[in-house]
Amino acid sequence: MSITITTLKESKITKQVVIRTKNTMYVLGIFADRFPVHLYYGKKSRSADTGYHPFERAFSPYYPECGWDYMPNTVESEYPYFGMGDFRASAIRVRDLSTGSDVTEFTFRKMKKYKGRVAIQAPIYGELPYAEADEDTETLEMILDDTVTGCELHLFYTVFPESDVIARHMTLINKGKNTVSLEKCMSLCLDIKRDNLDLISTYGGHGRERMVDRHTVSYGVHRITSRRGASSHMENPCIILCDPKASEERGEAYGFNFVYSGDFLDELEIDQTGKTRVLVGLGDETFSWRLEAGESFTSPEAVMTYAPNGIGEVSRNFHRFTRKHILPPEPFERRPVVLNSWEAFYFNIDGKLMEDFSAGAAEVGMDLPVMDDGWFGARRHDRAGLGDWVATPELFPDGLAAFVERVKAKGDKFGIWIEPEMVNPDSDLYRAHPEWALSAPGRVPLESRNQLVLDMGNPAVVDYLSDILGKTFNGIPFDYFKWDMNRHLTGVYSNILPPERQKEASFRHMCGVYELFRRLRAMFPNAMIENCSGGGGRYDLGMMKYSTQIWTSDNTEPVDRTYIQYGSTLGYPVTTMSCHVANHDSSIEDPRKLNYGFRVAINGPLGYELNILAASETAKATMSEQIKEYRAYEHLILRGDFYRLLSPFECGRYSYYFVSEDSREILLSYLQNFDDAKKTVYKLKISRALPGVTYRDTISGKTYTGEELRRGIEVESDEKGLYAVMWHLVAEA
């Protein structure tokens, strides 16, 4: 039982809800049968102070009948609404369009709990992505009313006890007579009873995704938001708040994320009372939703976790949760080693070349050659053809199906690149349907990589795309799709919407993108999707619902990758982190670089991206050995628990380990990016090693006791950078 609801007598808090996960506890109460207040989120304990302590402050409006016992402006709120005394950032703002008023007051009516969860219904096209329930999942549903507008608000708390995660979303139903507009819609609010917390977030750009930023949040409002129509390279919805002294394995930390790939908002506010409010939801600058009488809107899902023992624990909670409840089931017995054509040939591909390339892949033990961009329409460069999803006849003289059949006869699997949300103005699709591209009235649309964005909120566009992809790929046994998205949304205006609904266009677009993902998955239930957006521009839980892995970055330079990969592991499991050994700076013919590229790449599912046909026999032999070595560790990489030890952001080194659930097998990695004449010594402490157990390193043959590993293996830096050491530690019987 994770959720307990109790009615209290002779107390200002008339009802109390306690939510328990494996290691955490969340407590909320209903003040005077009217207002949901937050009481506690932290370590699971009987003695935790979950009492209600009103905070009295002048200049705070109050209800005469409650007096200073309940002040909206100072209380810890479960879901603050705009306009009735809480001056801090609000979770919801609803405007009654008959009066123009945006004041609401949502008061408690009732609540219930049940096993499992409800699906999240999108207003168009079916579902939004959300976490799948299992036998332990329970949900608390609370219903609140705003009597003036007649709006009914449902707050959902879905509990995943094993992962220490609580997922939250809301539904607003307009049960009144007048049309209302939902102008701010947050999925989660948490009022933390302290300030002086560190915020860890990731920022970046194309080729430098998820750079780690950590600073103490000061008084006022802090917003991390995307207005790009994608979660983006520049921002990421995952944030961690922690004690300023918190390290990987010490100190309390909270994690938050959003199961959505479009515009989002993480909003923090520290107020006069020294509390930190956290809100996670839809980006409020590019969203509103009109609800006629009887209509409803459901938000995407936000997730939160609490960890008493450090930032690493927040990451592991999210890793476990994502693997178990978000990601699609593993499509194959083992994750295929991909060989991608992009950095090998860019647009200069044809069927014959791809056949040779695929045969080359099979020869060295790679499982899945991927034909990247350039196989369709007039797409010989990035200026034309996008949108025309028909294989170019000159490249495949006897057709795509016959080509794929030949390729698969030589190897095992085969994959192909698509970018369905986009169109080049120089394409048959755009010439036929210019009105399908997002563009503001009277304005010349901005291009980015010579392309425009299709209005996926228009069902005709989604139908067209699923139809053409269905026809072109009909009966062809693809095992993999790389789904790309190479620009952000501008001129967001949908030609099928009336003026008063234009602020819905971005959200509707995202719903259409998810719908097309579902249709492609339904057409190819046995294939996996690798998501991509100019590298890792949509590295988020929404995409992970449909994609087994994500192309982490277009930057394949191993030193840069240590930073990008470190940052990606903060919120996301390494199983999603597609890592290629690439031919950057002709590195594959330099044994030191080829080795370093590989050591960096086996932080996640391994792949290659290079011209295998031009590789020397020596390089090919090395790659064959690398794949064999990766296979020997794959179970730990894809299923083990992940611990970060050294951060490249702090010391130019990345060290981490994977450990099996029973702690009897450990894969430890040390990656040194730069030269170090001082030969600095680092201690790599394996806190999960079992005391009283002896571990043998299968690489060096050395043995270590569990105690020694817990005290730390010493590693001396090499004078030269690009230095990598691994230990594969296996417990002796």
Q: Would you say the C-alpha torsion 668, 673, 678, 679 has a positive or negative sign?
A: positive
The residue type found at 489 is: L
Locate 422 and state its tokens.
């986009």
Residue 490 CB, shortest distance to ligand GLA, in Å, is 18
Rg, the chain, Cα only: 27
Beta-carbon-side half-sphere exposure of residue 490 (alpha carbons within 13 Å) = 10
CA-wise closest residue to 29 among 84, 93, 82, 75 = 75
Nearer to ligand GLA, 102 or 554 (CB): 554
Distance CA 407, CA 369 (A): 9
Helices (H) and strands (E) in the chain, counts: 13, 38
Residue 340 CB, shortest distance to ligand GLA, in Å, is 7
Nearer to ligand GLA, 125 or 481 (CB): 481
Residue 206 CB, shortest distance to ligand GLA, in Å, is 8
Please check whether residue 277 is in contact with residue 190, taking contact to mean a CB–CB distance below 8 angstroms: yes
What residues make contact with ligand GLA under the rule CB under 6 A? Answer: 342, 372-373, 417, 484, 486, 532, 534-535, 551, 554
Residue 536 CB, shortest distance to ligand GLA, in Å, is 9
Residue 207 CB, shortest distance to ligand GLA, in Å, is 10
Nearer to ligand GLA, 556 or 655 (CB): 556
Distance CA 388, CA 425 (A): 11
Nearer to ligand GLA, 376 or 430 (CB): 376
CA-wise closest residue to 217 among 189, 194, 200, 198 = 198
Q: Which residues pair with 704 in a beta bridge?
A: 695
Distance CA 160, CA 307 (A): 14
Q: Who contacts 685 (Cβ-Cβ below 8 Å, separation ≥6)?
A: 645, 709, 710, 711, 712
Residue 537 CB, shortest distance to ligand GLA, in Å, is 8
Nearer to ligand GLA, 473 or 551 (CB): 551
Distance CA 535, CA 486 (A): 9
Nearer to ligand GLA, 96 or 373 (CB): 373
Nearer to ligand GLA, 481 or 642 (CB): 481
Catalytic residues: 484, 554
Please report, to the nearest 10 degrees, the dihedral formed by the alpha carbons of residues 248, 251, 252, 253 taken in order.
Answer: -30
Please check whether residue 26 is in contact with residue 166, taking contact to mean a CB–CB distance below 8 angstroms: yes
Nearer to ligand GLA, 215 or 449 (CB): 449
Please check whether residue 594 is in contact with residue 647, taking contact to mean a CB–CB distance below 8 angstroms: no
Q: Count CB-CB contacts under 10 A for residue 72.
A: 21
Q: Who contacts 160 (Cβ-Cβ below 8 Å, separation ≥6)?
A: 21, 131, 134, 136, 137, 166, 167, 321, 324, 325
Residue bearing tokens 């964005």: 453
Q: Which residues pair with 55 in a beta bridge?
A: none
Residue nearest to ligand GLA (CB): 373
Cα separations in angstroms, 288 against 214, 291, 303, 700: 32, 10, 22, 60
Nearer to ligand GLA, 417 or 656 (CB): 417
Locate 619 and state its tokens.
């390089």
Residue bearing tokens 């002040």: 71
Torsion angles phi and psi, residue 311, rounded to 5: -65, -35
Locate 520 and state its tokens.
């492609």
Could you say which DSSP state residue 388 is in? -
Residue 637 CB, shortest distance to ligand GLA, in Å, is 22
Residue 597 CB, shortest distance to ligand GLA, in Å, is 16
Residue 519 CB, shortest distance to ligand GLA, in Å, is 21
